[in-house]
């Protein structure tokens, strides 16, 4: 039982401090479920002084564990639904990624963690499944934001089109200092630009004080080829301010 409490604490404790309403409610339900699941999975009947027939106990253990996993999956669905109405809650995205990882839903865990990291939330254990840079790599120079299509542009853009998101130095060469490429089917999407996306070591985001950020739709897959001039461009942004941008392509 103690191992169950420890396992749940490892997953949820770092997040409970700042999301007390939602996470305390989840913790109140999830704590006994995780404890039961861990006990049923690893507890030793001999250690408890109970003599059981192995063949008789296996079906009961499997059934109880499946019930526990199903209950946790239901809570995950509720958290995912809540985030649709509050997509800027980075700590809840991080909690959702941890739950998905526990359920071995790695594709969903990766997607949830990408949302969390784009909102400035990090977890070294989850970084390995995301392919995104660690907190240390992005803490000195980064730009966070969200890109979405206007109602008018939604009528033009196809899921197979490409969205390019790039930063250019205000007082510098035209070469972008950070570039991110994603399929248009991912829109709306959260993004993070940093030095890991530089086109060369000589042109990095951290080398410049101010940049502009552009989000552009391309049908050809070439960054300079804007589809019907569909793009959004920010005002000059001071990199050190860590502002969150909201770009609407129209």
CATH of the domain at 234: 2.60.40
Do 16 and 118 have their domain in common? yes
Note the pLDDT of residue 126. 75
pLDDT(95) > 50: yes
Rounded to whole angstroms, how far apart are CA atoms 222 and 214? 14
- Are 17 and 95 found together in one domain? yes
Please, are residues 12 and 98 in contact by the beta-carbon 8 Å criterion?
A: yes
Over residues 48-66, the pLDDT tens digits come to 444 444 444 555 445 545 5
Burial 172-189 (b: 16+ CB within 10 A, else e): eeeebbbbbeeebeebeb
The residue from 130, 163, 183 where one domain ends is 130
Segment 22-26 mean pLDDT: 47
Residues 208 and 239 in one domain: yes
pLDDT score for 169: 95
**Looking up tokens 């959004």, which residue turns up?**
232
Find the domain containing 237 and state its range: 135-249
* Shared-domain flag, residues 6 and 123: yes
Mark whether 116 and 103 lie in a shared domain: yes
- In the chain, how many domains are there? 2
With a CB cutoff of 8 Å and minimum separation 6, the contacts of 53 are none
Q: What's the mean pLDDT in 226-244?
A: 92
pTM over 0.75: no
- Answer yes or no: do 119 and 190 share one domain: no
């Amino acid at each position: 039982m103690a191992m169950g409490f420890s396992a749940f604490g490892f997953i949820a404790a770092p997040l409970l401090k700042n999301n007390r309403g939602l996470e305390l409610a989840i913790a109140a339900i999830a704590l006994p479920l995780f404890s039961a699941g861990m006990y049923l999975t690893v507890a030793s009947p001999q250690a408890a002084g109970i003599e059981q027939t192995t063949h008789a106990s296996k079906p009961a253990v499997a059934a109880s564990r499946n019930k526990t996993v199903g209950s946790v999956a239901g809570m995950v669905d509720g958290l995912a639904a809540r985030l649709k109405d509050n997509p800027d809650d980075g700590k809840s995205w991080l909690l959702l990624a941890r739950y998905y990882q526990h359920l071995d839903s790695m594709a969903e865990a990766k997607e949830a963690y990408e949302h969390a990291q784009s909102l400035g939330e990090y977890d070294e254990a989850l970084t390995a499944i995301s392919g995104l840079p660690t907190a240390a790599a992005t803490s000195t120079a980064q730009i966070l934001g969200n890109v979405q299509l206007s109602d008018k542009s939604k009528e033009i853009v196809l899921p197979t089109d490409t969205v390019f998101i790039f930063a250019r130095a205000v007082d510098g060469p035209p070469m972008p200092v950070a570039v991110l490429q994603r399929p248009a089917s991912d829109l709306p999407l959260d993004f993070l630009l940093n030095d890991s996306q530089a086109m060369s070591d000589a042109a990095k985001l951290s080398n410049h004080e101010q940049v502009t950020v552009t989000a552009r739709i391309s049908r050809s897959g070439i960054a300079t080829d804007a589809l019907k001039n569909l793009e959004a461009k920010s005002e000059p942004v001071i990199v050190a301010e860590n502002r969150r941008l909201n770009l609407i392509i129209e």
